[in-house]
Amino acid sequence: MGFDNHYPRRKDHRKPYHARGKHDRTCRPNGTCPYCQNNRRHSNFKKKLIAEDKLKEFKDDPGR
C-alpha cells in the first residue's frame, strides 16, 4: 500500500519514485544513485581538478 492510502486526509503530498530503469530503480531528485550524485558534484569536481593543476604548476615552477 502506498503512503497516500494509509493517510487519505493528509495535507502534504509526496512525489512518487520515478520509475527510471535507465539509472536506478530507486532514483529520486537529489538521490543517492551514482548518476544523481555525479550530476550534483560536477562543478565541485571540476573546481577540484583546476585547483590540483594550479598546485602542480606551482610545485613544478623552477623560478620560485
Q: Residue 17: helix, strand or coil by DSSP? A: coil
Quick: pLDDT tens for 36-53: 788 888 999 999 999 999
pLDDT at 54: 94
Q: How far apart are CA 16 and CA 24, in angstroms?
A: 14
**pLDDT grade, residue 7 (50/70/90)?**
low
Q: What residues does each domain of the chain span?
A: 31-64
Supply 61's cell numbers.
Answer: 615552477
Task: Kindly compute the dihedral angle of the four CA atoms of residues 13, 2, 27, 19, in this order, to the nearest 10 degrees.
Answer: -110
* Mean pLDDT score, 10-35: 67
Look at residues 9, 8, 33 and name the one whose alpha carbon lies nearest to residue 20: 33
Quick: pLDDT tens for 25-34: 667 666 777 8
Contact 25, 19 (CB under 8 A): yes
